[in-house]
Structure 1
Amino acid sequence: MRSSRRKFLKDSALLTSSGLLAARWVQAGEAPVGRKLKLRFAIASDLHYGQQGTPYEKMTDDLVDWINLEKQGRGLDLLFLNGDLTNDSSQALLDLRDKHLSKLDLPYYCIKGNHDFVDEQPGSPTESWEAIWGYPSNHCITVNGYTFVMADTSAPHHAGTYLAADRQWLAKQFEQHRDAPAIFALIHIQQRKHGVQGWPRHGVYAEDQVDKAEAVMDLLESTPNLRGVFHGHNHLKTGMWVSGEQRYFFDSHVGGSWGAAKGYRIVEIDEDHRMGTYQVNAEQGGELNRNLLV
């Protein structure tokens, strides 16, 4: 594991018609993160709590145990759950919150995924994302000077499509935090359509959303202090995608019935703002990859 971690791997290299490298999957050598960390956080996604035919209770308990062990061991400041917390049930959001996530030993934040639905009934405990979690589905926080922008890409119940993030809202957050040492964006659905510049499956695809999503991509790739974009949704991907000098990270999945090894992603920042990230194979132990955030 240690030797493979230090080896440069390239899962795919994709050329444009001009012959220039447009984007690629990369796994780089170990990040030079200092021993004294200013911030250490985790990202996990796709719990699919409540999906029939899966041991969703156990898989969720496993996640809570993994994250609490990280907290007890090397330390962990917060956790982001990057979408598809549940599997098409508003009641499951409450069960997940009260039966499982309440056992986490650190603060956590939830991003709305395409399987996360509220019932929109006035006065209901699941009337809205804010009624459940205490903040809206488009939400921004600052921790130790670093900014985290959480964007909603989910459509209404059973709409069967993926949405572009709200570019206007994103641009406002990026402008307000332009002096932050780093911004991180958490967006469940990748904003580039499958196949464009070689991007993988499960991105925005509806005709009325593709152009809007490309405008979001332009914004992401023109924000100087945006140091990483984190996606869930694609259960098969655990690595980093580079496009327009921006880095996009995937964290596999925790639950559901398909995908790569279950796990989560760690991001570490030292006092000099040097940043590194790696994917944890939580089922078997060890790291799958390690990359710089530059």
Structure 2
Amino acid sequence: MINRREFIGLSLKSIVLIGAGSALQSFAPGSFVLPPRKKVKLRFALASDGHYGQPDTTFAEHHSNMVALLNKEASGRGLDFTVINGDVFHNDPKFIHPAKAAWDQLSMKYHVSHGNHDMIDESEWEKVFGTRWHYDFQQGDNAFLILNTADIKGKYVCPDLGWTREHLAKHRNAKNLFVIQHITPVKWTEHGIDCPELVEMFSAQTNLRAVFHGHDHAEDGMKEKNGKHYFFDGHLGGSWGKPYYGYRIVEVLRNGEVLCYQVNPKETAPVNSTTVKR
């Protein structure tokens, strides 16, 4: 567990309190500490872009290291589940099974999203992971949508708008709704894609608390659109991006706030932290 002394000494890029509407309040890194664990109702992790099988990378080591880090989180402050947000393997479908075997070493339940490098038929993906490319699940009074952003050949695509609209409506009464999709739907990064109809849906969804992305290995912060918050988690593998292999933690607090922070394991450090306040 990260204690107060360790947390204050961490390398924080930014700490932002997001209030009602789009109001933002920033904090100096040394002024913020993690809330007591008893105040946390739900805690989960997100990691992406393992690229299992990518040539000239130590992909097996990257996965082993990340599994160890997440299992340490689970045994310390606790994790209800982890989401592996796309690019589970690298291009060749033969790597899907060893990639799954690596993630099966996690001590907690995990979910996966489909990425552009996961070049495999959806039916085969379902045989391995037990889910389609679009699916939803609930954890208590929190709802989650997993959306697909690539076709079988790796072409970037917008998620299925009909499915998304239906499931946003399905979960409109959940206390908190979170969306997880590999590629951002706003072309504000080099590797993003514009999906204006999807963004419009997100903007109108009153209980949508955050949208989480991988894909952009060089992005590990937050962007805002129409009062909604879009988070990136860097990468856990691959051959480019941020100079560390990290993951993001999300804590849903009992007072209605949502705390997000990026962890840099090289420094055992949250890189940036954001609290979303109802």
Same fold (TM over 0.5): yes
Q: Provide the residue aligned with 2:134 in structure 1.
A: 138
2:82 maps to amino acid: L
Q: Provide the residue aligned with 2:232 in structure 1.
A: 250
Q: Provide the residue aligned with 1:290 in structure 2.
A: 273
Residue in structure 2 matching 1:200, options 189, 206, 218: 189
Give the unaligned 5+ runs of structure 1: 11-22, 121-126, 194-198, 205-209
1:240 maps to amino acid: M
Residue in structure 2 matching 1:104, options 90, 100, 106: 106
1:216 aligns with 2:198: yes
How far apart are residue 90 of structure 1 and its match? Answer: 1.4
How far apart are residue 268 of structure 1 and its match? Answer: 0.5
Q: Deviations over 1:202-247 (max 9, x none)?
A: 011xxxxx4xx11101111111000000010000011110111000
- Structure 2 vs 1, CA of residues 93 and 27 (structure 1 numbering), >3 Å: closer, same or farther? farther
- Mapped to 2, the partners of 1:102 and 1:142 lie a distance apart of 21
How far apart are residue 283 of structure 1 and its match? Answer: 2.5
Q: Provide the residue aligned with 1:49 in structure 2.
A: 52
How far apart are residue 26 of structure 1 and its match? Answer: 9.3
Q: Provide the residue aligned with 1:115 in structure 2.
A: 117
Residue in structure 1 matching 2:262, options 276, 279, 287: 279
Q: Deviations over 1:84-133 (max 9, x none)?
A: 011002121111112x111110000000000002247xxxxxx4221111
1:237 aligns with 2:243: no
- Mapped to 2, the partners of 1:142 and 1:62 lie a distance apart of 28
User: Do the aligned residues in 2 keep the contact of 1:266 with 1:279 (CA within 8 Å)?
Assistant: yes
SS of residue matched to 1:202: coil
Residue in structure 1 matching 2:79, options 57, 76, 79: 76
- Mapped to 1, the partners of 2:104 and 2:54 lie a distance apart of 20
How far apart are residue 33 of structure 1 and its match? Answer: 4.7
Q: Provide the residue aligned with 1:89 in structure 2.
A: 92
Q: How many residues align?
A: 260
Q: TM-score, normalised by structure 2?
A: 0.87
User: Do the aligned residues in 1 keep the contact of 2:10 with 2:269 (CA within 8 Å)?
Assistant: no
User: Do the aligned residues in 1 keep the contact of 2:135 with 2:145 (CA within 8 Å)?
Assistant: yes
How far apart are residue 7 of structure 1 and its match? Answer: 7.9
Task: Report the identity percentage.
Answer: 33
- Mapped to 2, the partners of 1:221 and 1:274 lie a distance apart of 19
Q: TM-score, normalised by structure 1?
A: 0.82
- Mapped to 2, the partners of 1:87 and 1:27 lie a distance apart of 38
Choose 244-253 or 87-96, whichever is displaced more.
Answer: 87-96
Q: Provide the residue aligned with 1:128 in structure 2.
A: 124
- Mapped to 2, the partners of 1:71 and 1:4 lie a distance apart of 20
How far apart are residue 274 of structure 1 and its match? Answer: 1.8
